[in-house]
Amino acid sequence: MGKKLYSDEELLNRLQEFASELGRPPSQNEMNESGPHAAKTYADRFGSWNGALKTADLETGTNEPDGRPATSKADLLADLKSVAKIVGETPSERIYRDHGKYSVKTYCKRFGGWNSALRAVGMEPNVELNLSEETLITALQEFAEELGRPPTTDEMDQDGPYTTGPYKRAFGNWNQALRRAGLEIYYARNVSEESLLSELTRLSEELEHVPCKEEMRDQGKWSGSVYQARFGSWNEALAAAGFEPNTRWRIPREDLLTELRELAGELGHPPTTSEMLEHGKYTTQPYWRVFGSWRTALQAADPDYLENYRQSDTESIPFGSNWPQIREEIITRDNESCLRCGMDRGTHRDQFDRDLPVHHRIPRRRFYNNPDRSVDDANVPSNLLTLCIPCHRRLERLPVQPIIG
């Protein structure tokens, strides 16, 4: 046997350093995506992943997919009921990802599937259980056309019209579903390392920075999972191409919260995971690593998140009566331009593909939660001003101004 590239001590030191950065023992997925070495490297060297954690004096035991201690079934079911109450309907897997405390994978593992977890709290299974093969194939083909390539299982679960569950039930596995849809399947074993590294270099030149795994998934020829399978982890693939490892998991907590607050202000409601992926500065992964769930991140950004979410479901509640007409009157009053930088309405639509925002100097929720006032009181002209999206974001960081007049 040849000399080991890294000693046991070096591997354990790097594992401990990574755990220190996260503030807890990493999961295998976290190690594969952002760690110094692949989880398999540790499992091969120390007998198992938990064996490596134990040798490194890190807490072991039954963990959730995010690396946190296991949660009781009672707590899982209680949170499932809570989310159902928040959204006012039986939550799908995707809805629960946006508002739940725990991982959907945890429910599937502990209850034998998402629909089994729903039954355990007395809810009817999702309609995805009864989708026809024709419906599934058509939806998969349309999603692949939208992406410009066949989707990965992660992409389908995150952003697809349906999760991968009904596909696996109908066709046996994901690759078989792709075949039935007439879509090409990429196997890591059929792609040379030279081709993979060449594509990685090409994408880095196109982006003008070292790509992260999500960027390879969205813009590259192969998904990040292909690189992970061939090189052991995304960071080891980067090292093989001569790049420095990604450090996206080191984004400061306050930077994550600032971006979340700004996007919520721009959208007018707490963003979903799909909206963060589409419009946000970061992907959802750093939020999951730091906060453990999307809902916890939203609550950390805004302690009134749950109340605000209930309001955002019906526009007439948070914005008051006749808001569209009032909004148009304010934009007309302000010469259809941002009052801070002067950007006109047409330029704004061309640049951002959205209309100019109308900003409330005193936030609507101050009126909504005040028993002596109504939301309509927030819509007096002196409390409203027209802004462009960048100026709106900047202004949201300033102290609230009093109503004049």
Which DSSP symbol is given to 358?
Answer: E
d(CA 68, CA 71): 9
Helix (H, G, I), strand (E, B) or coil at 384: strand
Query: Phi, psi at residue 385, to the nearest 5°?
Result: -150, 150
Identify the band that residue 333 occupies on the pLDDT scale cut at 50, 70 and 90: very high
Of 111, 110, 132, the closest CA to residue 123 belongs to 111
Domain coordinates of the chain in residue numbers? Answer: 1-69, 73-128, 131-180, 188-246, 250-305, 316-396
What tens digit of pLDDT does each residue of 268-295 get?
A: 778 877 677 667 777 777 787 778 778 8
Q: Residue 385 above 80 pLDDT?
A: yes
Whether 106 contacts 113, CB under 8 Å:
no
Higher pLDDT, residue 395 or 45: 45
174's enclosing H/E stretch is helix 174-180
Residue with structure tokens 């299974």? 125
- Going by pLDDT thresholds of 50, 70 and 90, the confidence category of residue 64 is low
Residue 386 has phi, psi (to 5 degrees) of -85, 135
DSSP secondary-structure letter at 148? T
Q: What is the pLDDT of residue 65?
A: 46
Instruction: Characterize 230-241 residue by residue with b for buried, 16 or more Cβ atoms within 10 angstroms of its Cβ, and e for exposed.
Output: bbbbbbbbbebb
Burial of 229 by CB count in 10 Å (0-12 exposed, 13-18 middle, 19+ buried)?
A: middle
Write down the H helix ranges in 273-397: 273-279, 285-291, 294-301, 305-312, 316-319, 323-333, 345-352, 364-368, 389-396
Looking at per-residue pLDDT, the higher value among 376 and 203 belongs to 203
Indicate left, alpha or beta for 182 from its phi (over 0: left) and psi (-120 to 50: alpha).
left
| pTM assigned to the model | 0.43
Report the candidate in 89, 90, 117, 119 with the shortest Cα–Cα distance to residue 104.
117
**SS3 for 359?**
strand
Q: Convert 174-188 to b/e letters by CB count within 10 Å (16 or more is b).
A: beebbebbebeebee
- Residue 348, token pair as written in the block: 């704004």
Task: Concatenate the DSSP letters of all residues of 177-214 into one string.
Answer: HHHHTT-----GGGS-HHHHHHHHHHHHHHHTSPPPHH
Percent of the chain exceeding pLDDT 90 equals 3
Checking if the pLDDT of 128 tops 80, the result is no
- pLDDT band at residue 69 using 50, 70 and 90 as cut-offs: low
Residue 131 to residue 165: CA distance in whole angstroms = 11
Joined together, the tokens standing for residue 321 give 């009566």
DSSP-derived letter for residue 388 is -
Rounded CA gap, 186 and 218, in Å? 15
In the predicted structure, residue 402 carries a pLDDT above the cut 50: no
Q: What is the CA radius of gyration of the chain?
A: 24
Is the pLDDT score of 315 beyond 70?
no
Residue range 87-112, pLDDT digits in tens:
777 888 777 877 787 877 778 778 87
Average pLDDT, the chain: 76
Between the CA of residue 183 and those of 136, 168, 308, what are the distances in Å?
13, 16, 42
Helix axes 389-396, 253-267, angle to 10 degrees: 130
